[in-house]
Amino acid sequence: MSKEKGVDYLLKAMKKVIKEYPEAKLLIAGDGKERENLVKLTKMLNIEKNVEFLGWKTKDELKKIYEDIDFLVVPSIWQEPFGLTAVEAMAYGRPVIAFDVSGLRESVENDVNGFLVNVLDVNNLAEKIIDLLKDENTLNKFSKNARKKAELFSDEVFFREIRKFYEKVYKRKI
């Protein structure tokens, strides 16, 4: 957890979400230098009963989390180089809501497998979270599309594309 991950914006959005969905639960995985400040902000916003700080998780623990959640929110405010967390969630058929930053645009297609929100727009972030909480049809559609999109980032596809590149460069089959 660091400033550029934008978790504080997600917490502020969650305050708005809870007004409409008082039972909504936000799980925050990870650790870092901002954790203490984020816990304080959670208390200040009076949303402690809806937010759980999980701390650092192993790959197996993350797998269980991805299986249990409805969707993932990635509130990064810096230009993520790729956004691996988003692709991991999509591999489990979980749509992604993210701030519209460079690397996340490669995997999150707005209104197809999730939502892209203008950076720092807490109100719109809250609206998109509420949209997925209230519309099961959209959630299901996005889930199917998320899984399909994640397949494009599989090892098989990656190695096939590298092979095609080298065959093109060296003008022979590898």
pTM of the model: 0.89
Tell me the three state secondary structure of residue 77. Answer: coil
Handedness of CA 23, 13, 57, 63 (dihedral sign): positive
Cβ count within 10 A of residue 136: 10
CA 53 to CA 87: how far, in whole Å? Answer: 22
Phi-psi region of 111 (alpha: psi -120 to 50; beta: other; left: phi over 0): left
Measured CA angle at 5 (ends 72, 9), to 5 deg: 75
The residue range of the domain holding 72 is 3-170
> How many domains are there within the chain?
1
Largest CA distance in the chain: 63
CATH number at residue 100: 3.40.50.2000
Angle of helix 122-134 relative to helix 7-20, nearest 10 degrees, comes to 50
Tens-level pLDDT at each residue, the chain (174 residues):
899 999 999 999 999 999 999 999 999 999 999 999 999 999 999 999 999 999 999 999 999 999 999 999 999 999 878 888 999 999 999 999 999 998 899 999 999 999 999 999 999 999 999 999 999 999 999 999 999 999 988 778 677 778 888 788 887 776
